[in-house]
Structure 1
Amino acid sequence: MLLSNAKIGSKVKVISLQSTGLLRRRMLDLGLIPGTQIEVIRQSPLGDPIAYGIKGAQIALRKEEAKHIKVDSME
């Protein structure tokens, strides 16, 4: 499934990145490599962006960015 489809409160693991160029570089710089665990923390009031817990830090990604990250549920 894609990270953009993960439910709030769920924990997932990165399978692959489906992006190229600067977006891919940004994702890699944030630590989004295969095997990384991500917790879906909260959604903004308007639904976009969504806060994710990654390696002890919270980052916000827009759905447009999150749809390029293929994940697998850990639950």
Structure 2
Amino acid sequence: MGKQLSMDHLPEGIRAQVVEVGGEGAMRRRLLDLGLIPGTWVTCRGRAPAGDPGAYAFRGCVVALRAKDVSAVALEPEGVL
């Protein structure tokens, strides 16, 4: 397994695959319902001027999500073995 990072630290323009959706409660359920499940590819499209929220493209849509809400989503960047 390669280098992992949390979704809130995904650099703009980088594509990564969801490894695990951590956390608990309603926000975890919402992320799973949006389609952030293990195996999903995510790309950070940009961030607000203050750095939060970030715009993430996955499953054919772009969704703005706050850093505190995606900090428990573990990703593995594309090309990392």
Does the TM-score normalized on the shorter chain lie above 0.5?
yes
TM-score normalized by the length of structure 1: 0.95
TM-score normalized by the length of structure 2: 0.89
Q: Does 1:29 align with 2:43?
A: no
Structure 1 distance, partners of 2:55, 2:16, is 14
Give the ranges of 4+ consecutive aligned residues of structure 1 lying more than 4 Å apart after TM superposition: none
| Partner SS for 1:64 | helix
Deviation of residue 66 (structure 1)?
1.5
- From 42, 57, 64, the equivalent of 2:61 is 57
- Which 5+ residue runs of structure 1 have no aligned equivalent? none
Q: Does 1:46 align with 2:50?
A: yes
Q: Sequence identity of aligned pairs in percent?
A: 33
- Which 5+ residue runs of structure 2 have no aligned equivalent? none
CA RMSD of aligned residues (A): 0.7
The structure number with the bigger radius of gyration is 2
Q: Deviations over 1:22-66 (max 9, x none)?
A: 011101111000000001101111110000001110001111012
